[in-house]
Structure 1
Amino acid sequence: MRPVFLLLLLLLLAACSTGGGVQSSGITPAILSLSADSSVKGKTFTWGGKVLSVKNLKDRTLVEVMAYPLNKKGAPDADGSTQGRFIAEYSGFLEPAEYPQGQLITVTGRMLGYVDGKVGAADYRFPVLHMGEIRRWPGAYSYESRDKPRVNLGIGFDSSGYRGIGIGIGF
């Protein structure tokens, strides 16, 4: 009985441990948009958010993204407050149907610099990342609630007619 208990305890502890995940860069696109800090050129950043638009050019694709904070799995938390906008530049063609408006993505890449543009009638300076890695996340909703174990109560019956109350932890 004791080895079974220890095995179950180890499995429970392993399930509760946090994975490595993607770490946020700390500096947000909004901060860089305002400061236009040129010393960050060439540095690697990891940002995520919702796709606003995809523009295919002759030899590259520009993806405009509304940035959101990343959760511990590296997914953008679209329920969080926005962190500015950025452009993710991809060398080559990206299919716009695979990156529709609202698609959640996380991008890691080198900072190329800035490009001036517009958001509506307002001037905006977009930080531009060269896409080294990109990850699409299913849906356009927050993953924060999925990061925490869920405790559920239930009533169960088995084939022998035993009735009981159980407690489960979902991961």
Structure 2
Amino acid sequence: MRCSFSNVAAVREDLMKMNLTMLKNIILLLVVLLFSVSCSVISREIRNEAMAPMPFKTLIENAGQYTGQTVILGGFILSTENKADETLVSVLQTPLSSMDYPYDKDQSEGRFVVVHKGFLDPEVYRQNRRITVAGTIAGFRTEQIGSCPYACLTIESRQVYLWPKNLHRNYYWDDPYWRHDPFYWYGGPYHDPYYGGYYRAYRYYPSLRYAPVYPGFHPYDPYWDE
């Protein structure tokens, strides 16, 4: 009888281990599916057609052989110019995060022009706004276009995403529950944003209560929008 009880206990323990393993696998699968669906602001259909990411300089140097192919580029708007039936947007190219979020102007490798069929309001698509564009390579335009004084790579837009300009507001000193809490972290009621001490390196970090979470985005970005 003792052997029977021990066998039942062993089987029960094995089943519990199997169930735990299956649960872990299901959670992992759900996480992978979540990131595969929401990892970019560009539609999956267009992303499947787009070329693999490459250095912008390489793309410019070999633009002739890539003409007509779809790329995903992004950066900061330099100017927006309306024509009779299209809008020309000059963009300072920057690297993109895993969510295709433009960042770090210092790493720019040039400029490109987005040709969008239809009207884009220059008061909305203003200078220094972040933009991500999926479109086909259309070679170069030799005439000066907006803030592109030389022959710039031209992209005919298929999908345009303008990033919210208030994406990174609400720093610690904008949080009413930060400055006025005498027991926040340590050091008494002296919560000036330039207060030294151990946490000085984090004085620019956005409020954890408001900051959005984007895969591949580092919280310290010197180009936060105003």
* Structure 1 residues 123 and 18: alpha-carbon distance in aligned structure 2, compared to 1, 3 A threshold: same
Residue type of the alignment partner of 1:40:
Y
Residue type of the alignment partner of 1:30:
K
* Residue 86 (structure 1) aligned to one of 80, 103, 112: 112
| Residue in structure 1 matched with residue 53 of structure 2 by the alignment | 26
Task: Summarize the alignment of residues 20-99 of structure 1 with structure 2, pairs less than 5 Å apart.
Answer: 20=36, 21-22=39-40, 25-33=52-60, 35=61, 37-78=63-104, 81-99=107-125
Residue type of the alignment partner of 2:114:
A
Which one scores higher on RCO, CA 8 angstroms, separation ≥ 6?
1
Q: Secondary structure at the match of 2:72?
A: strand
Task: Kindly state the Cα deviation for residue 27 of structure 1 after the two structures are TM-superposed.
Answer: 3.3
Between the aligned partners of 2:149 and 2:114, the Cα distance in structure 1 is: 19
Unaligned runs of 5+ in 2: 1-15, 41-46, 169-210, 218-226
% same residue: 26
More strand by share: 1
* Structure 1 residues 38 and 72: alpha-carbon distance in aligned structure 2, compared to 1, 3 A threshold: same
* Structure 1 residues 148 and 29: alpha-carbon distance in aligned structure 2, compared to 1, 3 A threshold: closer
Between the aligned partners of 2:138 and 2:63, the Cα distance in structure 1 is: 12
Alignment: residue pair count: 145
Unaligned runs of 5+ in 1: 150-171
* Structure 1 residues 148 and 128: alpha-carbon distance in aligned structure 2, compared to 1, 3 A threshold: closer
* Structure 1 residues 59 and 79: alpha-carbon distance in aligned structure 2, compared to 1, 3 A threshold: closer
Residue type of the alignment partner of 2:35:
G
Residue type of the alignment partner of 1:81:
Q
2:128 aligned with 1:106 = no
TM-score normalised per structure 1: 0.65
Q: How far does the alpha carbon of each residue in 1:84-120 deviate from its partner, in whole angstroms, 9 at most, with x for none?
A: 1100000111111121111111100111111124599
| Residue in structure 1 matched with residue 215 of structure 2 by the alignment | 147
Residue type of the alignment partner of 1:52:
L
CA contact (8 A) 1:69 1:80 kept: no
Q: Which of the two has higher C-alpha Rg?
A: 2
Q: Secondary structure at the match of 1:101?
A: coil
Structural RMSD (CA)? 3.8
